[in-house]
Structure 1
């Protein structure tokens, strides 16, 4: 099974730029879509881990719907701190990017994807109007119910905010809080093989309470790897990328970083 992870698109209205006018989100989104559509083999599905739009407006979601409908593989979404839950549901439910079971909780956009070898659980960590995330007891209880339904099946959790520190101070201030219950819960389930996040705008990976966490880079704007505890955010013109997660029963998950761009390939004769 192949899962592509796309994150932190920050799409605006056509012609607008983000991040102090330095970034063309339409161009980067079109490039990411073309890159994913050119993958061979094609992914079984695409998980978009939040911040689909930048300002949470109806116009932005309409444009996002228009562009993302060009993806060849089916995709699913989870909200980030820049997203609006109501507009997300209105936009993406008719497209199938939010399964019908997301209506089980009227406040949060949380659901399961069942029809694959790996079970996938979308967890909503967003707090309206705040950059940080949170897992309240209600959201954690919902996850507990879902995990109890199928405790032996290989499972992946995807959400926007990382549950752990990354060493980039300002982003750590905006990580997911209220994760004590999640930590206790996951200690009961060895079948949770991977936790996918976004939000950081750069690739990072860690083992958090014995569970692998993989953070996707942004498909547009990259945050600098400032590990010197500075208190302001810096952007860097590193290549944007997606993640490609391969799962096979014999090996579990392997994650590959796939930079977005046109890169030449040269075939080499095998050396025996």
Structure 2
């Protein structure tokens, strides 16, 4: 049996807010149960909160999460989504592995047993030219990339038409012309699980801990209220497998 040498947990779109509920679901309780079933039962080398940690960017929501995770042994990366406040995140979280390529953006890079991990900030709903250049220059054969907004469309009409990355067409065109590189993205934002590929671009959408959006509808509709997350297992030869799990919370 081949055993993974490193494990990554991706948690996304927790949407913590002041009133502790969003769309009728107690998001704090749901996230706490996800922690009980993941971090508190399994060893993860890295945990990535890949954006929309808070629903309104409040200090209280970040402080609650920082307190909740302070005794975990895993490395943690805190990424900003469009709902987050970068200023408040800077006040609360220990932001290790930051890369200074864009003012007031939380971009990260770290090496995990030979895997080059890049994390790109899309808090302002786009990637800057500096970020795109850094992404291209930093990507090698053993790179995986985390980004809140998918950099291509995902065959999900409501999200593609209303909430896509502002400059996704430019990014798609630039990346797809670089034939000697493969770009592997792990994203959130869409509140759904999916795998999409376009030429040398491979994209894994990770479900929210809050609720999932129906990917087939042209209008907003909740598909289910399962709490989802993604696990990535990395092997000695730098290959990886990835899968999503869900928790049904009454």
TM-score by length of 2: 0.86
**Distance 1:142-1:255 versus aligned 2 partners, 3 A rule:** same
Aligned equivalents of 1:167, 1:180: Cα separation in 2? 15
Instruction: Verify the 8 A CA contact 1:31 1:261 in the aligned structure 2.
Output: no
TM-score (norm 1): 0.79
Which secondary structure state, in structure 2, belongs to the residue aligned with residue 134 of structure 1? coil
C-alpha change, 1:71 and 1:224, in structure 2 (3 Å) is farther
- In 2, Cα distance between equivalents of 1:166 and 1:145: 25
Displacement after TM superposition at 1:16 (Å): 2.8
CA distance in 1, matches of 2:199, 2:86: 29
- 1:167 partnered with 2:155: yes
Q: Which residue pairs with 1:176 in the alignment? A: 165
Change (3 A) 1:209 1:68: farther
Indicate the residue corresponding to 1:2 in structure 2: 7
Gaps of 5+ in 2: 1-5
How many residues are matched? 242
Change over 3 Å in CA distance of 1:221–1:120 after alignment to 2: same
Shift of 1:62: 1.4
Please state how far the C-alpha of 1:242 moved relative to its aligned partner.
1.0
Query: In the TM superposition, what whole-angstrom CA distance separates every residue of 1:141-182 from its partner, at most 9, and x where no partner exists?
Result: 2323433xxx35x00110101122233322112112323443
The 8 Å contact of residues 98 and 106 in structure 2, kept in 1 or not, is answered as: no
SS at match of 2:78: strand
The 2-side partners of 1:119 and 1:236 are apart by: 34
How far apart, CA to CA, are the structure 1 residues paired with 2:232 and 2:157? 28
Structure with a larger share of its residues in strand: 2
Does residue 1:201 correspond to 2:191, yes or no?
yes
User: How do 1:89-168 and structure 2 match up within 5 A?
Assistant: 89-92=90-93, 95=94, 98-127=95-124, 133-147=125-139, 151-152=140-141, 154-168=142-156
Bigger drift between 162-171 and 208-217 goes to 162-171
State the distance in 1 between where 2:245 and 2:9 align.
Answer: 10
Consecutive unaligned residues in structure 1, runs of 5 or more? 128-132, 263-272
Equivalent-residue separation in structure 1 for 2:168 and 2:40 (angstroms):
37
Which whole-Å deviations, capped at 9, do the CAs of 1:106-151 have from their partners, x for residues lacking one?
Answer: 2221121124321100111221xxxxx222323212323433xxx3
Cross-structure match for 1:265: none
> How far apart are the structure 2 equivalents of 1:238 and 1:187?
39
Larger radius of gyration: 1
Which SS does the other structure have where 1:80 is aligned? coil
Determine the C-alpha separation between the residues in 2 that align with 1:126 and 1:54. Answer: 13
Give secondary structure in 2 for the equivalent of 1:88.
helix
Q: What's 1:66 paired with?
A: 67
Answer whether contact 1:37 1:72 (CA < 8 A) is retained.
Answer: no
Determine if contact 2:187/2:206 at 8 Å carries over to the other structure. Answer: yes
